[in-house]
Amino acid sequence: MLTKQKLPDAAELAAEAAADYEERYGSLPPKLIIEIAARTLFPDDVVAVSSFGADSAVLLHMLSEVDASLPVAFLDTGKHFGETLEYRDALVRDFGLTGLEIIKPLEERLAAGDPDGKLHLSSTDACCDIRKVEPMARAVEPFSAWFTGRKRFQSATRAALPVFEAVGHRIRINPLARWSADDIRNYALSRKLRENPLVAYGYLSIGCFPCTSVVQPGEDARSGRWAGQAKTECGIHLSGLEQSLASSEL
């Protein structure tokens, strides 16, 4: 008796593709990874997501050298440091980026869940969900893949970060995953890239101003995010994003 064979679903196919890409391209130089992804694997179907934070200039510079018109999504949470917004605009000018897309929280969700802008005081997770996770889902939903600037050295939770990984049926690409802090620093210095002005004050990982603090000597770069809490990620790189993407596609 013949049995019907179960066909792999989109998420399974994405996981297989990510593993294949990791094996074939994961050890290549970051700029070449970006070029292969943008021109061969996902032509006209990949977006970069940037916080314009402490070392965002490195990835954005590489992107601009591959194709300055590639879409770059910035999540405007309404809680960014003024310096970050100025830095964003300066890097866009420096690199001639023409594909900047500013994604904001939905007004109806802010009105319902954070009408006075103080939700972060009672629930940072809920605040991040409204201001970052759901907007992130909208930013990447039209694309098959996206670039991030995450690196393994940033925290223990990122120590085994692959270059290619599946999120649902999409592929997340971390071209700088294998680079060290020295690699990032040397690249930026050799090309005289503009630095986020907050770095000079000890902010080594920069997010929303209420939940970002100065990093102390000997601490990892992300220890200044949600200091004093067990929270180490806003959720845009965790399972909450996959759930938001699934909800947006129902």
Q: Using CA atoms, how far apart are residues 65 and 60, in angstroms rounded to an integer?
A: 9
Task: Count CA within 13 A, CB hemisphere, residue 156.
Answer: 5
Is residue 234 flagged as an active site residue? yes
Strand-pairing partners, residue 25, are none
Q: Using CA atoms, how far apart are residues 102 and 136, in angstroms rounded to an integer?
A: 11
Task: Count CA within 13 A, CB hemisphere, residue 246.
Answer: 9
Burial of 105 (0-12, 13-18, 19+ CB in 10 A): buried
Give one DSSP letter per residue of 19-73, joined into a string: HHHHHHHTTS-HHHHHHHIIIIISTT-EEEE----TTHHHHHHHHHHHHTTS-EE
Catalytic residue among 128, 208, 211, 234: 234
Query: Active-site residue numbers?
Result: 234
